[in-house]
Amino acid sequence: MTKGDILKIIEKENVNFFRIQFCDIKGITKNVAIPKSQIGKALDGKIMFDGSSIDGFARIEESDMYLVPDYDTFCILPWRNQEGVAAARIICDVHKADGTPFDGCPRVTLKKSLAKAKEMGFTMNVGTEAEFFLFKLNKDGKSTTDTNDNAGYFSLDPEDTGLNCRREIIETLEKMGFEIEASHHEVAEGQHEINFKYADALECADNTVTFKWVVKSVARKHNLHATFMPKPIFGINGSGMHTNQSLFNLDGSNAFADENDKMQLSEAAYQYIAGIIKNARGFSAVTNPLVNSYKRMVPGYEAPVYVAWSASNRSALVRIPASRGVGTRVEVRCPDPTCNPYLAFAMMLNSGLDGIKNKLTPPASTDIDIFKMTPQEKDEAGIASMPASLHEALDAFKANPISKETLGDHIYGKYIINKEAEWDSYRIAVTDWELHNYLDIY
């Protein structure tokens, strides 16, 4: 799409308000809203903002930053049309005052990783499956953890009372250019999943942050709160974001496919899997970034706990879906939807490329239920555990050289500061569990 194309759409659709969006290092979408008179300026990348006001961005003495739009991300916002007056949005990269890309911009970070992959002869395709809960609002409009249904996995319409909301989410996404492949109720009450078609990694990251925004916005219209929190309720399944990924050669062929192999996987695919296995503990702090993330990753709730791979075993961290040929891909099952997709994709990509560059060999495929293996059996098979807490994940993150190589000095340093502060805040908090178990006894 060109600037001219966008201006024509703006006139045709009577767009009077324009949202210029970007993402901070925590994966939170930020935006600047401007009137129609400033749209030309925005499309030329001339809108300035104060980077020191964004957590993890810039110091106050170097705070002037510009938002440089990616024209291909322009779209009309279907739910914002009021009496024939429309609104639109565009996603931007953050640049410094001298015009160079800002190292603290997650979108820029992913672009750098994709450029390195291209130098090796690869492009990356990604498809995400972000689960979410729909909860009721209380009389004050605040979110609760009361679900609006009692349905289960793949339930039919009468039980799935969130269906109307989910249907409107799908219709909205389709109007915005998404190709929706399927939707269904998930395992837990109030839990849902909507799958959209894979895309190149940058577009998929854009789509993932857009998807979360749309889900939350439409849910509010139905007097519901949508949350992507990994484990909002104890004792039931949490929400993950299985991330399907594949490398393609520059000629457009799938670099993971080899019809002559017994599993129809190429040498590059095995090496990529080996790189993911080697670095999984090290990228967990990015793919699973919250204290709460590690309350999802416990045995018994389908979330991966052990670092292993399999062609079919859903208890493994890495699964190879059945599709072959152009659809050959690696599914990494640990990420959750609170991660920053730009940083998470970059970390997983560079982890896989580490396996290719160093010609790593993956361990043997684990084709039995790992949750039923004894500790001794796991030790003999060389199956490690994923970090059990954000603190443990941060230690592994800091020990892995790929972390700083991928994120760069700026995001790497700011990310550690932010997450260590989160862990400390959690560590010293007095919880309801402690009061319930200790207050009357001691």
| Residues carrying an active site annotation | 50, 129, 131, 186, 193, 242, 314, 331, 333
Token pair 């749309």 in the structure block, residue: 214
- Which residues are CB-neighbours of 172 under 8 A, at least 6 positions away? 78, 79, 214, 218
CB 130 within 8 A of CB 190: no
Measure the CA–CA gap between 372 and 320, rounded to whole angstroms: 21
For the chain, give the longest Cα–Cα distance.
71
Which of 301, 336, 297, 294 lies closest to 426, judged by CA? Answer: 294
Q: Is 154 exposed, middle or buried (0-12, 13-18, 19+ CB in 10 A)?
A: exposed
User: Alpha-carbon Rg of the chain, whole angstroms?
Assistant: 22
DSSP bridge pairs for 286 = none
Measure the CA–CA gap between 325 and 46, rounded to whole angstroms: 45
CB 13 within 8 A of CB 28: no
Q: Is 56 exposed, middle or buried (0-12, 13-18, 19+ CB in 10 A)?
A: middle
Please, what sign has the CA dihedral across residues 7, 8, 9, 10? positive
